[in-house]
Amino acid sequence: MTLRVRVSMSVILLSIMSLIATPARAATAGDVVSAQPTTVYLLPGRLLEVPVNAWHVLYRSTSATGSLTTVSGTLLVPKGRYPFGTRPIVGYAVGTHGLGDQCAPSAAMSQGREAELALVSLFLLKGFAVAMTDYEGLGTPGPHTYMAGISQGHAVLDSIRAAARVPGAGLSSRAPVAVMGYSQGGASAGWAAQLQPAYAPELRLKGVAAGGVPADLHAVANHLDGGDDFGLAAAAGVGLDAAYPELDLEADLNDRGRALLADAADDCVGDLDRLAGLRFSDLSPVDLLGQPKWQARLAENRLGSSAPEVPMFLYHGTGDQIIPLSVGSTLRSEYCRAGVTVRWVSLPAPDHVAGAIEGGPLAIEWLALRMYGLPASGNC
C-alpha cells in the first residue's frame, strides 16, 4: 500500500470517527423544522394574491411549563432588496381565531380569509418582513393553549428567531425587531415584551405595540360571565386547561359543561357565539375561578408583574365591551410605575373590533419610527 493511499484512508477513518463521536445538536427554541413556500391571498376565493415571498413554517418553541414544542406560522418577506440596510422583522401576533386547527391564521391566509392581513400589509409596504405565529396547538397536533400568555409570548419570540433561519428568506439574526398584536395578540405581544430579556436576549427588540390587552384574565373572565361574549371566557378556560394539565377542567364540569366545551374544542371564533349568555355556574357545580389551582395559574399569566426593557405603545378603545378599558389602563399604570417608556392612547372606538381598526395604523407608524432608530417618548 502506498503512502498516499494510507494517508487517504486515515483521513476517511478520522472523518467517520468524528461524525460518530459528535452527537447531533439538540433541538432548541427557534429552530426551523420545515419551511415550505406558500401563497397568501387578501380576498376569499383566492382572488388577490399578496405579492410577497411566503413560507409556511414549522418551528420549535417552548410551552407554558417549559417543554419544547412545535408551532406553525407564516413568514412574509417583501420581494426585492430592502434599501436601508438590514431588513427589519416584525413578530405579528394575531387576535382570537378559535380553537380548531382550521381556524389558524396560516390556513386563513392561504384561503384569502385573514382580515388582519390588511394591517400586516402596512408593514410589508414599508419593506419589513412579518412573522405570524399560529400559536401552540393551532395548526399543529394537540389542543390550542388559548390565552396561556407565557406560551403565546414564547411563540411570538420564536417565530422571529425562526424567520431569520428560513433558507432563502434573506433575513438576519441581527435585524431590528418589533412586535405587535391586538386582543389575544395584545396579550401575546405584552408577554413577548416581558419575556424577551431573559428568554430571547439576542433579539434586537426596538419596541412593542399591544392593543385591547386582556392583561388580567381573572378580571376579564368576571366581566364576560353571563354576557354575550362568554364563549371567549369559556375558550380561555379550555386553553389554560390545555397548557396546565393539573387544572383538570373536565373533572370540575357538570354534564352540560362537559358537552358544551367538548363541542367548542374545535370551534372558530364566530362559533363561540352559541355560548352567549351562559355563566361559569351553568357549567360547573363549583366556583371554578375561586379554586386555588386556577387562581395560581391566572396570577401567573397576569401581565404587569415584570417590566419590559423596550418602549411600549398601548392602545385601548373606550367602548370596548370585551376587554374593559380599566384592564388596559391598569397595565399602563403598572408599567409606568416600573419605569417603562409607555405611549398610551385611549381611542373613541365604540367596541372591541373598532379599537383594532382605529389603533392599528397608529401602532404601525409608532413601531416604524422605532425600527428607524428614533427615540420614543412616553406619556405616563
Q: For 84-120, how does the pLDDT look when each residue is reduced to its tens digit (9 = 90+)?
A: 999 999 999 999 999 999 999 999 999 999 999 999 9
> How many Å apart are CA 25 and CA 212, to the nearest integer?
40
Residues 6+ apart with CB under 8 A from 41: 47, 48, 49, 50, 109, 110, 111, 112
Report yes or no on whether pTM surpasses 0.85. yes
Percent of the chain at pLDDT > 70 equals 94
Cell 468524528 identifies what position? 18
Q: Which residues of the chain have pLDDT under 70?
A: 1-24
Give residue 45's pLDDT: 82
Give residue 24's pLDDT: 61
Q: How many H helices and E strands in the chain? A: 12, 9
Length of the chain in terms of residues written:
380
Residue 214 corresponds to which cell in the numbers above? 386582556
Give how far Cα 376 sits from Cα of 126, 152, 194, 366, Å.
19, 26, 18, 8
Cell 414599508 identifies what position? 126
Q: Exposed, middle or buried by CB within 10 Å (0-12, 13-18, 19+), for 379? A: exposed
Torsions phi, psi of 294, nearest 5?
A: -75, -40
**Domains of the chain as residue ranges with CATH:** 32-216+302-371 (3.40.50.1820), 217-299 (1.10.260.130)
Give residue 3's pLDDT: 35
Quick check: helix, strand or coil at residue 323? coil
Give residue 47's pLDDT: 79
Strand partners, 72: 58
Q: How are strands ordered across the β-sheet holding 129-133?
A: 32-38, 52-62, 68-78, 129-133, 89-93, 176-182, 204-211, 312-317, 342-347
